A and B are shown apart, each in its own frame.
Chain A
Amino acid sequence: MDFTLSKEQEMARTLFRQFALNEVKPLAQEVDETERFPVETVEKMQKLGFLGIPMPKEYGGQGCDTLTYVLAVEELSRVCGTTGVIVSAHTSLGADPIKKFGTPEQKEKYLRPLVSGEKLGAFGLTEPGAGTDASGQQTKAVLNGDHYVLNGSKIFITNGGKADIYIIFAMTDKSKGTKGISAFIVEKEFPGFSIGTKEKKMGIRGSSTTELIFTDCIVPKENLLGQEGKGFGIAMQTLDGGRIGIAAQALGLAAGALDATIAYVKERKQFGRSIAKFQNTQFQIADMATKVEAARNLVYKAAIAKDTQKKFSLEAAMAKLYAAEVAMEVTTKAVQLHGGYGYTREYDVERMMRDAKITEIYEGTSEVQRMVISGSIL
């Protein structure tokens, strides 16, 4: 079993790390403080191909593997959770379902601008009454000649308002339950589509999380993604991939908090010596580093599974569950080891702890991951 990255993956990690330190880190605190979507960073990432890393070259993507994409989300999140999730939601939730389920025409029209980064993508499944129970969709789509008419709303949509292309789930036949859900590719400019309230969040405050509102929204028939009634499967398979992206974000947050804490405990002096000299600090750091490494192994394994296995739900759920819980634990310990300073917004660990919490919630809560894991074992 080989745990080493290939030379190209190593070099890509160096690239992502340099970019993160030079271009992303300097903005992280301000983006959080002002709840500002870092549009300049997204433009830079677009030029460098960061918005199409695991996407086919024939559509203008970078032609890299899922593990390289995971390295990008990890390294970006290591300095800024907001930037990590922008890339993850765009790639895994916006572009990936079109890559997997789109027709050649849909790929040409929508995947190409998404993977070149010219357009940003998002994914709308969650509704006020349909969170973990995604089958409770209230948004309806009615076929009317050459188009569908969508009515309803979505909430907590990452990249909402900033994205140009949305994968939207709606009931085409309520009587069939989950088998009545269909997926659609919806452009921001489609008539009847509007952006609702922007959420005020605890963490990842630079990412735009909004409501989407559909009022007699006209969606051309050819924008049905996959077949009618197959939307639930598309959503679940897409979320399997999305969970690997969020697991990478969680891993990055944990690794970033560990980086900051290692530097801090060597500097901070109490009782005449650096706090790194105290056994409590040493043992805490040892535990944090071990858990980050264990999370990394699970996340990378899930990334490899996505490229090599037909089904990778189990690996993705384990990676997301563990990495998210490690992110919460490690960032909390990081704040503790920073003491009073760690509780102030002067220090990055305060933001990282707030950012980490969402990784236990979105794209399937930790409880949902446990359901998926036990469901595939028992």
Chain B
Amino acid sequence: MKIVVCIKQVPDTNEVRLDPVTGTLIRDGVPSIINPDDKAGLEAALQLKDSVGAEITVISMGPPQADAALREALAMGADKAILVTDRAFGGADTLATSTTIAAAIKNLEYDLVITGRQAIDGDTAQVGPQISEHLSIPNVSYAEDIKVEGNSVIVKRQYEDRYHTVKVEMPCLITALGEMNQPRYMTPGGIFDAYKEKEVTVWGLNDITVDTANIGLKGSPTKVAQTFTKSLKAAGTKVQLDAEESANFIVEKMKEKFIL
């Protein structure tokens, strides 16, 4: 089985501080990490490699520094790594990003593509599903568990209040939740091999087949109007009532807020 895992290098938000005057992120000196949901996706792939055997290719689109994230993935046990980097890809929104990554994946053989649900520096949760659209393969998002059965995968999808168990034929794309596992540590020897014996293949614009109108800033229809820190919600009210009283209570509250 061939698995492609998409990862993104992101600033460690645990270490990010906000500039008190401008309200923007202070990124200087902030360590970069593999996006947690992506790392869980990589761990899921490594577990499949351990249990049923798989060749894992990690792929990342980003600046040259993203090499470190790919080396980390190699040190955890991935087999191959590809860095998709080119000035032409810069300024991409989720659509242009997914277009570029999908074009890179089209160069590869794969049965399964795994991405994280969303990145902690953007929280859009769009790139994974968009890649599946570009590749014309089914997408199962919010995976909490992945099992392989013959030519299919059985995915436990998490909802707020329930699970769905979905069986889907490969090739397909799965977006992984950070909660699905505890990613393994690298090993010291794995790190040394990642730098001394393994390669990170670098692909630029000329290595993928893509319409330049659909990539980078030009290919990005999203316009950011404003960024702001989400205000904290007040603590909710808890009441214990029977079903009918509860319905009445909710209707009253909605009337109070002019929702009804």
Contact = CB atoms under 8 A, between A and B. Distances in A.
Interface of A: 6-8, 11-12, 15, 18-19, 48-50, 53, 57, 61-64, 68, 72
A7 B195 contact: yes
A19 B185 contact: yes
Contact of B188 (A6, A7, A18, A64): A64
A64 B190 CA distance: 10
Contact of B191 (A12, A50, A61): A12
A72 B194 CA distance: 18
A11 B75 contact: yes
Contacts of B72: 11
B185 A48 contact: yes
B244 to A, nearest CB: 49
Interface in B52-76: 68, 71-72, 75
A48 B188 CA distance: 8
B196 A8 contact: yes
Nearest to A49: B187
A11 B186 contact: yes
A50 B195 contact: no
B68 A7 contact: yes
A15 B192 contact: no
B192 A62 contact: yes
A18 B187 CA distance: 12
B29 interface: no
B150 interface: no
Contact of B189 (A7, A61, A72): A61
A33 to B, nearest CB: 27
Q: Which of B75, B189, B190 has the most CB of A within 10 A?
A: B189
Residue from A7, A8, A53, A63 having most chain B Cβ neighbours under 10 A? A8
B188 A68 contact: yes
Contacts of A48: 185, 187-188
Interface string B160-200: 00000000000000000000000001111111111110000
Contacts of B194: 8, 11
Given A8-B194, A8-B195, A15 B188 contact: yes
B191 A11 contact: yes
Contact of A64 (B68, B71, B185, B192): B192
B235 to A, nearest CB: 28
A11 B72 CA distance: 8
Nearest to B184: A48
A11 B189 CA distance: 11
A300 B185 CA distance: 24
Nearest to A57: B189
A50 B189 contact: no
A49 B188 contact: yes
A11 B76 CA distance: 12
